[in-house]
Amino acid sequence: MIHVVDYGLGNVQAFLTMYKRLGFEAVRARTAADLEGAGKLILPGVGAFDHAMELLDQSGMRPAIESLVVDDGVPVLGICVGMQILARSSEEGSLSGLGWVPGRVRSFRSAERSAALPLPHMGWNDVHVQSASHVFAGLAADARFYFLHSYFFECDQPEHVAATAGYGLDFCCAVAAGQVYGVQFHPEKSHHFGATLLKNFAEL
């Protein structure tokens, strides 16, 4: 069973609708009790890093989520800000992230090659898969996804970079560390490429 975490950020219904169309059972989780028996988690999100962490804490679900992921090894997929909060910290705020993927979140403004580019980085962009993980199976060199963001994930360890995209610089747009995955782009808005990725995650 896939549980989509509803802590007040992200279009949860879009994921439920897409999984229904793909033939997988997915439910919305608003409380810790809703997470009981979760086999996979999706952590969506839009907006600012600190706001996401605050809402996750206020939801009361964080301890249950951390227990499922850290103690039980349940696969999790963070999306957009849901990916960014997998890091230790962000230049966007002062709060600590979940720290499940070693790294930090940086602004395009702080990188020389992207500092002068318009923000947010918005629209379709090519994604270059670096990982052999099943999550990215079937996503060839022409894979394109929809982006809307001003910050990017900088991994401490290169092996955690699952995919890259270009915006002034080649930046990490997907991470994979054990059973923890994250994508900066929006698979729920990325047509058949996004459907393939979400299907792959469901089949892990």
Read off the pLDDT band of 140 (50, 70, 90): confident
Query: Rounded to two decimals, what is the model's pTM?
Result: 0.96
DSSP strand pairing (180-183 vs 169-177): antiparallel
Q: Which two tokens stand for residue 124?
A: 């379709």
Whole-number pLDDT of residue 141: 72
Domain ranges of the chain: 2-202
Q: Which two tokens stand for residue 68?
A: 């499922």
Question: Is pLDDT at 127 greater than 80 in this prediction?
Answer: yes
Q: Which amino acid is at 31?
A: T
Read off the pLDDT band of 41 (50, 70, 90): very high
Average pLDDT, integer, range 129-140: 86
Quote the mean pLDDT of the chain.
96
Which residues are part of the catalytic machinery?
80, 186, 188
Question: Is pLDDT at 142 greater than 80 in this prediction?
Answer: no
CA 73, CA 93: separation in Å to the nearest integer?
Answer: 28
C-beta separation of 171 from 149 below 8 A: no
Q: Which amino acid is at 12?
A: V
C-beta separation of 183 from 161 below 8 A: no
The per-residue pLDDT for range 49-80, each reduced to its tens digit, is 999 999 999 999 999 999 999 999 999 999 99
Question: Is pLDDT at 131 greater than 90 in this prediction?
Answer: no
Whole-number pLDDT of residue 29: 98
CATH architecture of 2-202: 3-Layer(aba) Sandwich (3.40)
For residue 41, the surrounding DSSP H or E stretch is: strand 40-43
Distance of CA 162 to the CA centre of its chain: 12
Average pLDDT, integer, range 27-47: 96
Question: Is pLDDT at 89 greater than 90 in this prediction?
Answer: yes
Whole-number pLDDT of residue 139: 85
Cβ-in-10-Å burial (0-12, 13-18, 19+) of 27 comes to middle
